[in-house]
Structure 1
């Protein structure tokens, strides 16, 4: 099978959509398929094109068996609503030529990854021109996110954007998303249920696993071995609500046995640094190398997943997968009825979004109750093993891809994916960091 993936983010980005798109592509190559990708140079989550890459040149490379076409784009140093739209639009325009070049390759499936939905029309056109199946994979409903977070406020613009979103989604042969609630959202936008498919983000539970020793990060960050570490690792953007975790750290500054670690990059990092500047119980570090991810996640006694109320059900934070696989207790902000609440509440602690005091109280209760931390961490780890392993996710994904291309091979693909290919997942950078969109 020949799969053409069209999306702005791709490895070597260590967090977010790019990480999962790359692992998906590499997994399919490992299973014997041909995969090509049209993407931008790596820039996320620092909002700066990585060293060794150009923002203004076209480039083609072969990365772990995947042919990747990189295209120019403008990356704003200080992203806001309008600048982000221009940023996404530049990618949609500069990617048209490399996308058109794939016509002679004749892909069997054209998959657009949202964000950005601005690329959906070109993906549909390519699929129709080549007779390929058109697949849209939604990591974030970016229209909802943009308006929900106040980045765009015009009522007229909202109506127009949502009308375009509805029209585009209905035209794809398959629309997938990363959680049940998000699949339901696609159905509410008018996508026929028969076209919908749940494709959750995954985690390699063999790579991300509990350690039988103390993480070396304790020594590197000068954290005593008896201190309880509360950690956030991921994108530092507006919807993460990190100000609430900073507030919890301020409220608990006199608890010398509790240390807060903020790890990541993003637009709000400067603000978090300012909030924590005078707090001796805080450590702030940048993104860590992928090969040290398990060491990093095992630094935490408690993983913290703050969230703003206005983003509460717009996305399913993909950083949650690594948190669960690491086997540490989790405290999350989520409202009842959201997917995040339903996943975390049976195997973690959940408080209402935008309530820093409730978050601080939950952290104290967990810090003072080691048996409960161990019990919740084990339950989260078991959920990751049962529901989020690459073998399970990629097996179902491959079968769905083949369903519309080679229907007679579907049963064979499912059987092989479970029995013979457990080690060929291609998941190379499993992360607890946030797979969240540019919004």
Structure 2
């Protein structure tokens, strides 16, 4: 797993009050995000790359974040769970705050986890009011950081932007992490009161923006900001991939790959069931790569399967190569969270020019996207999921066409340069106001 600060050689100071450097006329942005680089998956990856793009476009950025801990739910090697400051590149200051990290995040423990970060971030956010930012940007989760962000914006005259990666309140009740009806009503009421106060609300899918409207956000405040991927040169065939040698795959063996977080929202059990159904085929290997709170339970479901290989989370510089080793990408998703989250791993899958099999309800945004470049089946339908895998494996020409369409979709909708250009335009306009 990656260690150290983003960018490698950064200055680190153990303090919670050091001010950002470089007094200049560049627009100043405070980014408050629970997850940040060097986390390799999920929100941390995108928050890190977003700050990189802001710095490249001449913004000064102060990042208020936690010590890196996701998806393994433990503080990364090389970091300590206390206040520290990093300056990984000119114009970027990263203020890391301590927090409670549960080994097995459940309902109450996850709430304490969020609350601990919000409380430890308060003194840092308070000190940053003297920096006079133009925009305060906050990422959900955790929505608990919304009030400190709104307060800093109010005190400094800054605009406040909420970026929703995950509707944590809705997801917590859908997943059964919190069950009390009165608590649901209270949480949703607080969420709506907070979200309406932001100047801009962005999210990663159109359906998630629709949900923001139902929560009372004016349409004029909404911005579509999808998770992106760096679409580079198209990779060669899977047979030429180094991972095939490392996995000791026989010639002609097909790889069905799942790579990403292994948690509760993914519905990973269908992968184990599909692997069991297709164990009769010696030409198919399932490769499951990643970490998360659900990995040990997932490994137990796959125990004894001869066609399954587990890999740890891979280094960032090898992710594109890993995705290109697949013949078919697997994207399980629970039915009850289909339109509450948009899997961030989808962009990389499509950019790899490989077909995708997903579980998504018909009519959902995920189903609409994947149906153009693979197969979407109803969540929980294990036999349909396994049959979809076989169809793509046994019809390579069709699978190749799906992969090409997926890559074209990624270029048009998820390419990092395109997404960041649109984002910087929106942010510059907001700063000018």
* TM-score in same-fold range (> 0.5): yes
User: Matched residue of 1:204: which SS?
Assistant: coil
For structure 2, list consecutive stretches of 5 or more residues without a partner in the other structure.
1-26
Q: Equivalent residue of 1:238, what SS?
A: coil
Aligned to 1:39: 65
Q: How many equivalent pairs are there?
A: 405
- Identify which of 96, 109, 129 aligns with 1:103: 129
Are 2:230 and 1:216 aligned? Answer: no
**Structure 1 position 143, deviation (Å):** 0.5
Change (3 A) 1:154 1:321: same
The 3-state SS of whatever aligns with 2:179 is coil
Which protein, 1 or 2, shows the higher relative CO under an 8 Å CA cutoff with sep ≥ 6?
A: 1
CA distance in 1, matches of 2:176, 2:303: 28
Q: d(CA) in 1 for partners of 2:430 and 2:164?
A: 19
Aligned equivalent of 1:417? none
Measure the CA separation in 2 of the matches of 1:347 and 1:303.
11
2:136 is paired with a residue whose SS is strand
CA contact 1:307–1:354 (8 Å) conserved in 2: no
Deviation, 1:221, is 1.2
Aligned equivalents of 2:431 and 2:195: distance in 1?
A: 21
- Give the whole-Å Cα distance in 1 for the aligned partners of 2:117 and 2:412: 38
Alignment partner, residue 43 of structure 2: 17
Match of 2:199 among 163, 173, 179: 173
Superposed, 1:334-373 pairs within 5 Å as: 334-373=360-399
Give CA-to-partner distance per residue, 1:103-138, whole Å, 9 cap, x none: 111000001100000000000000010000011000
Measured in 1, the distance between the counterparts of 2:385 and 2:202 equals 33
Task: Tell me the residue number matched to 1:423.
Answer: none
SS in 2 for 1:111: strand
Query: How far apart are the structure 1 equivalents of 2:240 and 2:296?
Result: 30
Q: Tell me the CA shift for residue 394 of structure 1.
A: 0.9
The equivalent residue for 2:113 is 87
Aligned position for 1:58:
83
* Contact 1:229/1:260 (8 A) holds in 2: yes
**Which position in structure 2 is the counterpart of 1:307?**
333
The alpha-carbon deviation at position 211 of structure 1 amounts to: 2.3
Q: Of 195, 199, 210, which residue of structure 1 is paired with 2:221?
A: 195
- Structure 1 portions without partners, runs of 5+: 408-439
Cα distance in structure 2, aligned partners of 1:378 and 1:239: 28
Q: Deviations over 1:9-46 (max 9, x none)?
A: 00000001010011001101011111110000110000
1:236, distance to aligned residue in structure 2 (A): 0.1
Residue matched to 2:313: 287
Aligned equivalents of 2:47 and 2:33: distance in 1?
A: 8
From 248, 259, 263, give the equivalent of 1:237. Answer: 263
Measured in 2, the distance between the counterparts of 1:369 and 1:346 equals 16
Cα RMSD (Å): 1.0
Q: Secondary structure at the match of 1:240?
A: coil
Counterpart Cα distance in 1 of 2:62 and 2:213: 29
- How much does 1:355 deviate? 1.6
Contact 1:303/1:330, CA 8 A, preserved across alignment: yes
Q: Does 1:257 align with 2:287?
A: no
Distance (Å, rounded) in 2 between the aligned partners of 1:404 and 1:216: 46
Do the aligned residues in 2 keep the contact of 1:325 with 1:385 (CA within 8 Å)?
yes
Identify the range of structure 1 (5-14 vs 305-314) with the bigger mean alpha-carbon deviation: 305-314
1:419 alignment partner in structure 2: none
The alignment partner of 2:314 has SS state of coil
Q: CA deviation at 1:225?
A: 2.9
Q: 2:180 aligns with which of 154, 164, 175?
A: 154
The C-alpha deviation readout for 1:291-322, integer Å capped at 9, x for no partner, is: 11111111100000011111221100010000
- Displacement of 1:101 in angstroms is 1.1
- Please state how far the C-alpha of 1:64 moved relative to its aligned partner: 3.4
